[in-house]
Structure 1
Amino acid sequence: MQQAIILITGASRGIGAATAKLAAKQGYRVIINYRNDANAAEALANDIKQGGGLAHCLQADVSQPEQVAAMFEQIRQNWGAVSALVNSAGILDTQARFVDTAPERWQQIFQTNVFGTMSCCQQAFAHMAKSTGGQGGAIVNLSSIAAVYGSPNEYVDYAASKGAIDTFTKGFALEVANEGVRVNAVRPGLIYTQMHAEGGEAGRVDRLGPTLPLKRGGQPEEVAEAIMWLVSEKSSYTTAGFIDVGGGR
């Protein structure tokens, strides 16, 4: 019996990598999408294979629609149709007040975080939808608690991009529910990933974690558990939904 195929974008690190490992343990053939870090992607794939799982690496910049289309076509030709998609790829820029940022920065963030997610969802629909011969499927978009709180003085543009993901998730989920495709989102909070260093404060989670009701930051594996529940049949009656993994914030 052919194993179900899950594509995880931005899977070479952080939440994406944790999700890839968990998906492999649950029996999925895992497609690890990455943009730049081939070494990290290959190391993750090797780790999964050593544990008895199936994993393949595909390079594509999700901010480029033609690369997204080519990636999905390559998956179909080599392994079959995607039955699960996790849109984990995302970027931010250095911490700054919004009034000090430039349109070029906003455009870059939205191109990856919003339009990249939308492109992947559009391509996944063609693999999953009953009207195109698909068997149905599940999509999980990575939003952020920042979409709710706005991330003032740090990442307002990033927060805005995740707010767009929330709205897109809701609308797209309702459009495709009768096609056997479920679409949900997970909103992580302060999670120990490399993104904080890229924003200029590697110790951000240590600084802010104690201010949360649970008094700590979260781990990527804790977010992965929520993602894979939404992918699984255990959540078969859940679509257009959101799970906050934010320590109570």
Structure 2
Amino acid sequence: MARPRSLVTGGTRGIGAAVAQRLARAGHDLVLGYAHDDAAAELAEAAVQAAGGECTLVRCDLLDDDGVEDLFAAAGALTGVVNNAGATFHIGPLAETPVEVIRRTVDLNLTTAILVARAAVRALSTAYDGQGGVLVNISSGAATKGSPGEYVQYAAAKAGVDALTLGLAEEVAQDGVRVVGVAPGMIRTTIHADAGEPGRLERVAPLIPLQRAGEPEEVADAVAWLMSDEASYVTGTTLRVAGGR
């Protein structure tokens, strides 16, 4: 394969879109998975193409029974996967969070992340006739903070993603696959507004040592480095991009 070809789940908005554009600038062709926002997908596709990469859009809901399988079937041969799709869905104490929201949060942020990781290994591993590659799991700074009063169920799911990165990295190290993680902190995306608190970044920013929210591009730079040859001896670890918090 002349150029790296990377799949980004949740790749058309927020951090995912920034990662896609950054990887395109680094010489990757992209496959971008997304659930429903066609307008955002078209913008992300145009941005990847403007940055020099080919772009394939795949519309599928990873929460569907066959969603992950359908995405990877459409993606074809890959050299990298960014396991990014996620959402908080809700902000509030656990006792006041509806059961269906808790289940959906864990299903998307942990169960689906595990299924994507499984499919990534089958696509990349030399044990399955792949050519090797890199899996980047997008975790969260919440995994080590717990997010009390806001979304402990999301934090718990992301802590599971950190465990996934650690264990899977050792499991597939001999098969040409590096597994790494990135844990963003407060990043300027729509995730907070989507969960019901559009002003959350302004509320939390004074608690961050760097006194500001991060930008999606700052997370994307970390992902691009971890996927590059410069990080060839890095596996089984999660890099925190959270402004010191």
TM-score range, shorter chain: over 0.9
Aligned residue in 1 for 2:5: 5
Give the secondary-structure state (helix, strand or coil) at the position aligned to 1:192. coil
- The answer as to whether partners of 2:9 and 2:34 remain within 8 angstroms in 1 is yes
Aligned residue in 1 for 2:28: 28
Segments of 4+ moved more than 6 angstroms: none
Aligned residue in 1 for 2:184: 188
Counterpart-to-counterpart distance in 1, 2:82 and 2:19: 9
Q: Note the C-alpha offset of 1:165.
A: 0.7
Counterpart-to-counterpart distance in 1, 2:67 and 2:210: 40
Give the secondary-structure state (helix, strand or coil) at the position aligned to 1:94. coil
Counterpart-to-counterpart distance in 2, 1:65 and 1:235: 34
**Which residue identity is paired with 1:233?**
D
**Which residue identity is paired with 2:136?**
V
Aligned residue in 1 for 2:116: 120
- The answer as to whether partners of 2:185 and 2:241 remain within 8 angstroms in 1 is yes
User: Structure 2: 5+ residue runs without aligned partners?
Assistant: none
- The answer as to whether partners of 1:62 and 1:117 remain within 8 angstroms in 2 is no
Counterpart-to-counterpart distance in 1, 2:196 and 2:130: 44
- The answer as to whether partners of 2:12 and 2:34 remain within 8 angstroms in 1 is yes
Give the secondary-structure state (helix, strand or coil) at the position aligned to 2:180. strand
- The answer as to whether partners of 1:6 and 1:83 remain within 8 angstroms in 2 is yes
1:244 paired residue among 210, 218, 240: 240
Counterpart-to-counterpart distance in 2, 1:176 and 1:19: 24
Q: Indicate yes or no: 2:206 matched with 1:171.
A: no
Counterpart-to-counterpart distance in 1, 2:177 and 2:128: 12
Aligned residue in 1 for 2:208: 212
Give the secondary-structure state (helix, strand or coil) at the position aligned to 1:165. helix
- The answer as to whether partners of 2:90 and 2:101 remain within 8 angstroms in 1 is no
Deviates more, 1:183-192 or 1:38-47: 38-47
User: CA deviation digits over 1:21-79, x for unaligned, max 9?
Assistant: 00111111111110010111112102222343211110121223412112211222xxx
Alignment coverage as a number of residue pairs = 245
Counterpart-to-counterpart distance in 1, 2:86 and 2:183: 13
Q: Indicate yes or no: 2:164 matched with 1:160.
A: no
Aligned residue in 2 for 1:110: 106
CA RMSD, Structure 1 to Structure 2 (Å): 1.2
User: CA deviation digits over 1:126-150, x for unaligned, max 9?
Assistant: 1211112211110111111101011
Counterpart-to-counterpart distance in 1, 2:28 and 2:202: 34
User: Structure 1: 5+ residue runs without aligned partners?
Assistant: none
Q: Indicate yes or no: 2:91 matched with 1:95.
A: yes
- The answer as to whether partners of 1:63 and 1:115 remain within 8 angstroms in 2 is no
Counterpart-to-counterpart distance in 1, 2:159 and 2:108: 14
Identity of aligned residues (%): 39
Counterpart-to-counterpart distance in 1, 2:90 and 2:125: 39
Counterpart-to-counterpart distance in 2, 1:101 and 1:169: 28
